[in-house]
Every structure is written in C-alpha cells, then in structure tokens.
Chain A
C-alpha cells in the first residue's frame, strides 16, 4: 500500500513537470508569433530621434507618439494605397461572389448536357499553379491597355474554382424538395437562389467572402506586374515602395507605422471572425 502511494506521488510529480514543460514550450512559440507584432507596434510609437539614438533597442517606451502615423499618411500616399486596396477588394470579392453563386447553383440544381464533364474540368483547373498562367495574363492585360487600371487588377482573379466547388457541395446538402416546391409555386431560379439557397448556406458564403477578402488585401505579385504607377498601388506594393523609396532612408518608426496601419484591418477581421476563418481554411484553403 505504502509502495503504491509512493508510486502515485512519483507519477503525479512526473506529470506536473511534463505539463509545465509543455506550457513553457507553447508559451515560447506564442512569443515568437506575437513578438513581430509587438515590435512593429512599439517601434511605430517611438519618436524618430529616440529610435535612432538607441544602440540597444528599448523594449518599451515611456513617451509614445503618434507623429509617425501622421508622417505615414502625409509623407507617402499611404491613404491612396488604402483606397485602392479597398476598391480592389470590394469589387473583386463582389464579382467573385456573383460568379461563384451562379456557377455553384448551376452545378448543384440545374441539368444540362455535359455537366459532369465540365465539373471535372473545373476541378482539374484547381491544380494549375498561378505561375503558369500569369505570363499570358500579363501579356493579355498589356495588349488590352489595361495596365495601371482597376479592370487590369481585378478581372484575372474574379473566378475561383475552389470556391465554386465549396459552395456547390454546400448547396447540394439543401433538400431538393424545396427547389421542386418553389418551381411548382412558379418561383424563378434566381429568386430561389437568393431567397432560399443563400440564406441557408450563409456560413459557407461568409467564409468564402472572408477568405477572398484576406487574399485580396494581401495580394502582391499580380498588382506588382500590372501597376508601375503609384496611383494604382495596393498596400503590399505600397509597403515595398515605402521600403525602397519612402521617408528617406532610415526612418524606421514611420515605416513601422505604415506596417501597423496596413496590418490592422485584417487583424480586426480576424478577431471578429477567427472561428469562421480557421474553419474555412481547414476545409481546404492553403497559404496564398
């Protein structure tokens, strides 16, 4: 009996140490994740003078200033980059949503010749890497004289096969009887789609919208190819431009202020919708 107690005690201590080490390890990774965010925030509120006089960077500041944010929005056209990105994100996401809803509905509810073959072809397009098609798209947009324009930025990324697939699966789970009943009542297909299917599939529709918004807000490669006029830069290109030519060479606090400004919208979106975002990504999104 005595021996068993001893054994239990030993096991308890062992478990406690193990749990402690696990938490230590997890906290360590948490710090690695958070530290860049802390550092950008901290640096963005240090004054230019105090930042450059610190040989050993201070881990906190007693005299926070918003001067860098003022600088970020006046010395470089950061506000313009924001407006561009906002327009780009809204229009791209809106067009994508219309195209995706119509196609998903066609695949889920309508019958037409060659439907299965077309769907299979759609799925196979999911495997095509962007790098393969971007060359011709660049030439196409250049030849159409759409460089440095919103259509040039937006049009190539409005059709997404993955989202069509995701929504089609979701639409198919809605009982078809409702559709037949609606048909008998003389409800039009479009009305059925927007009044019945979309409200029922709301969670998936919202997930798709959020994922597309994130993708748009962070897109860098295509905008860089088709814009060289800063008037049409999106935030990613703006950040790169600021890094290479903005604020004079070494104004790191002002750079960090623009980085914070660019990051905040998505972080707010994440704080509100993190469950939806994580669920959507685990259902088939990848990075990019």
Chain B
C-alpha cells in the first residue's frame, strides 16, 4: 500500500514542477522585485528595500494616463456590454426560427484573433489621404464632418476602443445569458400568464431574479477582464500606446519590462501589484453587493 501512497506525487510531478517555476515562484518574486529600490536589470544590484517603486509609479504621468484610460474603458464597456447582451439574449429567447443559427453566429468573434480583427476595425475607422474610411463616410452621409478616430481627438479614440472591446466581449456574455435564460423553469411563466401578469412585471419579478446570479458573474468577470485590457488596444493603435495616449495599466507593466522604455522589472512589479489590488478590491465589493442583492 505504501508505494501507492507516493505514486500520486509522481503523477503530479510535471504539474507541480511547471506551476512551481512559472506561477508560485514568480508570485513571491514579484513582491520582492517591487520592494527592491533602484534595481538594475543588467547588474542585478539594488540599493535597499522600501516603497519607492510604488511611489514612483503612482506619480508617473504615463501610469496616471494608463489608469485613466483603463478606468474609462471599464466604466463604459462593462455595464453597456452586459446590458446589450441581456437585450440580445432576451430577443434570442423569444424567437424560434434562426435561434440556433444566430446564437452560433454571435459567438464567432470569440474564436478570432484579436490582433487580426483589430486591424480591420482600424481600417474601417481610419482616415487616410486616399479615403476617409467607411465609418466616416457614414458620418458624412448623416451630414457631419469626418473625424480621425485613430490619431484624432481623445474622445474619438476612446469611442473606437470601447466599441471594439464590446464587440470582443459580447460572445461570452450572450452565451452565458442565453443559457441562463433557457434554464428558467417555464412553469413560472405559464403560471404568471394565467394570472394575467404584464410582460414587464414577468421580466422584473421572475426572469431578472432568476438570472441575477449570472448577471453578477458577468459583471465580476467583465470588471476583471476590462481592467486587464491590453492586446485589443495594441490591435487598434499599435505597440506604442504611450504615444497614442491610449496605454492601459497592463500596457504600462509591459512597457516597463520590455522595449524602448523597458528594463525596469521593479517598476513593472509595483504597477502589476497595484493592478492586482484594484481588481481584488473591486471583486470583493462586487461579491458583497451581490450577496445582498441576489435572491437565490
């Protein structure tokens, strides 16, 4: 029996090895990095331990800009995408023909390469010497003048960014909400209909409470995902996000680590810990609210 006792570890060995090297050790190491002041990447020397890196990051205008951009993306895209996904799912739930087809179609963006499709979005919105781009022609046809969405005013750039982010996150939300809606017991609806309850009341009193756990799940994962936005930004605005003024917190971390502005793992570590604290706090707040509000 004894040899079977330790056989388990043998089977777990590869997982333990890789998780240890690439997840557990880095987790400890990143805290150490963030506390080492004046760390030099080339020589590996540093001056001592302290909170200077955090202070530096929090006063860095590039970080402030990244924090602002990320917050705007989060505040706009999370509620809006959840609401649109809810409307679409309710629509899907109320029809029969084409329902499966549309469900599958809506999921398509999930499997596509965000960098590749982002390039298409850029072409659609970009103003070039040859053409103002399709979106601008649409705007012109409504009687307004063209806007440079990719290199123009901040609000225009933010609009493209939020639009693309919503396009990308929608498949997951629609999928989760349609399966939540279809699992609501039909008996409730029939009973309500017999009683002559209005549609709006049915939605507000039956549907919404039944799917509220899933809505909260989507809001939580939406917050986490949107706070970690990065590759969608690169897809639209290119790798130099600071120049475009569209950097995000994760982008700031990578810029500190690598590239022309790179070589500062200590600053990168501090910034990533700040990001983790923000995401963790918001998730906890969300969980507390959902505990009070979700009635299932």
Contact = CB atoms under 8 A, between A and B. Distances in A.
Given A131-B253, A132-B276, A281-B175, A286 B23 contact: no
Determine which residue in A34, A131, A138, A218 has the highest number of CB atoms from chain B within 10 A of its CB, and name it: A131
Contact of A135 (B95, B120, B170, B257): B257
A23 interface: yes
B171 to A, nearest CB: 8
A68 B1 CA distance: 66
B272 A262 contact: no
B273 A132 contact: yes
Contacts of B109: 33
A187 interface: no
B109 to A, nearest CB: 6
A220 B115 contact: yes
A159 B167 contact: no
Given A128-B23, A243-B238, A135 B268 contact: yes
Nearest to A288: B225
B276 A155 contact: no
Contacts of B239: 240, 244
Interface in B56-79: none
Nearest to B105: A30
Interface string B230-242: 1100100011000
Contacts of B117: 36-37, 40, 259, 263
A168 B178 CA distance: 27
Interface of A is mostly: helix
Interface in B96-148: 98, 102-117, 119-121, 123-124, 128, 130-132, 134, 137
B20 to A, nearest CB: 9
A277 B230 CA distance: 24
Contacts of B134: 39, 57
Interface string A202-239: 00000000000010011011001100000000011001
Interface string B3-19: 01111110110110011
A128 B224 CA distance: 11
A166 interface: no
B158 interface: no
A277 B134 CA distance: 33
A17 interface: no
A102 B14 contact: yes
A36 B120 contact: yes
Contacts of A199: none
A259 B119 contact: yes
Interface in A47-99: 52, 54-57, 98-99
A247 to B, nearest CB: 12
A151 interface: no
B91 A26 contact: yes
A208 to B, nearest CB: 14
A137 B7 CA distance: 29
A112 B5 contact: yes
Given A125-B19, A259-B120, A287-B169, A239 B115 contact: yes
A102 B225 contact: no
Contacts of B111: 214, 266-267, 269-270, 277
Given A112-B8, A136-B33, A131 B124 contact: no
A143 to B, nearest CB: 10
A133 interface: yes
Interface in A113-156: 113, 115, 118, 122, 125, 128-129, 131-140, 155-156
Given A132-B26, A135-B257, A33 B113 contact: no
A133 B112 contact: no
Interface in A253-288: 255-256, 259, 262-263, 266-267, 269-270, 274, 277-278, 281-282, 285-288
A140 B168 contact: no
Interface in B258-274: 258, 265, 268-269, 272-273
Given A133-B26, A263-B113, A278 B12 contact: no
B200 to A, nearest CB: 13
A285 to B, nearest CB: 8
B26 A278 contact: no
Contacts of B176: 282
Given A131-B250, A218-B114, A278-B107, A256 B123 contact: yes
B104 A274 contact: yes
Given A218-B114, A220-B114, A25 B91 contact: yes
A186 B88 CA distance: 55
Contact of B167 (A32, A100, A128): A32
A287 B128 CA distance: 32
A105 B11 contact: yes
Contacts of A115: 8
Contacts of B119: 239, 243, 255-256, 259
**10 closest A-B pairs (Cβ-Cβ)?**
A112-B8, A136-B26, A106-B11, A133-B26, A159-B18, A110-B8, A136-B29, A103-B15, A236-B115, A259-B116
Given A26-B88, A100-B15, 14 more contacts: A23-B95, A33-B167, A55-B132, A57-B134, A102-B11, A111-B4, A115-B8, A125-B19, A132-B27, A220-B114, A221-B230, A225-B258, A236-B231, A240-B115
9 contacts: A25-B91, A26-B98, A30-B106, A33-B109, A132-B272, A159-B19, A240-B239, A285-B172, A287-B225
